């Protein structure tokens, strides 16, 4: 059976017929809070668009000071202008990285919508990337009410890297999570190509974090490695389905090991459901209570289902 179910991936004609044998084993059922939201391939991919909008918007803003509404106005689909779009104070190499990833993500959005009319042209969600929104996430991660001076994510690359990497990480984890449920040649190809690009971006950003792990977050008394570790714990707490995000170092009895790219014990990438992603992005730990980065909630059919079926 196992070889047959793998074999079917190569046979386009038999793909639909054998589709059930490609599914994840029914014995791996997670607790209710961590179960996936069921949807068609188009619906599952459509939800990822929310994450791609956030990444594109954030990366374009920090590198160029202008969002998707300026760079690719036809892709906004009537969604509102983001709150807090601001150029960050970056060196030219870092700016180049974010600008490339931002424009690449705009192309990904275009490709997703062009792949199939079954993926609806959903409006860009309301995005709030104001310095206050990101500051409150950093304070929640560190478990403090305040820092003096107030944390400014846009002050420099060090202040900015952790949140940037987290957005990309959530997209990677979501795409990896839906990949076993994507049916059909066109949708599988789309998902794997978006996932590979997002994974590449994630690797670059984690590498940047690692190289700077001992750099002090000026003028505070913690280093970047600590912020990454605490940020990972915050995402894990909000998402409520296990310790999937990790810091840059793992501590073992026999010593410490670098953890530039976090993996499961089997060296596969971690997965998160749409609900886990929304709990983290809303900052509320509740996928039906918008806030934080998406104050009016995500858009599309999976997001609507989460609200209608009260899949908190």
Ligand X SMILES: *[C@@H]1O[C@H](CO)[C@@H](O)[C@H](O)[C@H]1NC(C)=O
Please give the residue ranges that form the binding site for ligand X (CB under 6 A). 83, 128, 130, 132-133, 136, 210-211, 213-214, 251, 255-256, 264-266, 295
Nearer to ligand X, 130 or 236 (CB): 130
Closest approach of ligand X to the CB of residue 252, in Å:
9
Minimum separation from the CB atom of position 212 to ligand X (A): 7
Of the two residues 41 and 126, which places its CB atom closer to ligand X in the complex? 126
* DSSP state for residue 123 in the 8-state scheme: P
3-state secondary structure of 246: coil
In this structure, how many other beta carbons lie within 10 angstroms of the beta carbon of residue 101? 24
CA of 246: how far to CAs of 150, 206, 214, 227, in Å?
26, 11, 16, 11
The residue among 71 and 140 lying less far from ligand X, judged by its C-beta, is: 140
Cβ 132 to ligand X shortest distance, Å? 4
Q: CB neighbours (10 Å) of residue 100?
A: 14
Rounded to whole angstroms, the Cα distance separating 255 from 246 reads: 17
Write out the two tokens for 53: 């909008």
User: Minimum distance between the CB of residue 71 and ligand X, rounded to whole angstroms?
Assistant: 22
Shortest approach of ligand X to residue 295 CB, angstroms? 5
Alpha carbon distance 201, 130 (integer Å): 23
List the alpha helices (DSSP H) in 86-155: 92-115, 131-142
Cβ closest to ligand X, residue 133 vs residue 172:
133
**Nearer to ligand X (CB atom), residue 13 or residue 254:** 254
């Amino acid at each position: 059976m196992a070889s047959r179910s793998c074999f079917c991936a190569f046979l386009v004609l038999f793909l639909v017929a054998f589709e059930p044998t490609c599914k994840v084993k029914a014995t791996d059922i997670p607790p209710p809070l961590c179960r996936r939201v069921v949807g068609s391939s188009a619906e599952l991919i459509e939800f990822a668009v929310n994450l791609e909008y956030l990444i594109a918007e954030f990366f374009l803003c920090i590198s160029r000071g202008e969002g998707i509404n300026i760079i690719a106005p036809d892709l906004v689909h009537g969604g509102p202008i983001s709150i807090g779009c601001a150029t960050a104070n970056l060196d030219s190499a870092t700016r180049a990285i974010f600008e490339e990833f931002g424009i690449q993500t705009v192309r990904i959005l275009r490709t997703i919508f062009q792949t199939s009319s079954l993926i609806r042209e959903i409006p860009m969600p309301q995005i709030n990337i104001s310095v206050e929104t990101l500051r409150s996430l950093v304070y929640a991660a560190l478990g403090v009410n305040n820092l003096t001076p107030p944390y400014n994510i846009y002050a420099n690359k060090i202040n900015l890297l952790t949140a940037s990497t987290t957005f990309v990480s959530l997209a990677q984890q979501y795409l990896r999570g839906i990949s076993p449920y994507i049916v059909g040649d066109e949708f599988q190809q789309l998902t794997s190509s978006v996932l590979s690009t997002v994974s590449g971006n994630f690797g670059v950003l984690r590498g940047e974090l690692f190289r700077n792990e001992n750099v002090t977050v000026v003028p505070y008394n913690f280093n970047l490695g600590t912020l990454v570790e605490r940020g990972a714990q915050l995402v894990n707490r909000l998402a409520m389905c296990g310790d999937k995000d990790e810091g840059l170092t793992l501590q073992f009895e026999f010593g410490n090991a670098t953890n530039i790219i976090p993996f499961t014990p089997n060296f596969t990438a971690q997965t998160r459901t749409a609900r886990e992603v929304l709990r983290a992005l809303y900052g509320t730990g509740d996928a039906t209570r918008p806030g934080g980065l998406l104050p009016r909630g995500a858009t599309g059919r999976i997001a609507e289902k989460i609200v209608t079926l009260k899949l908190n």
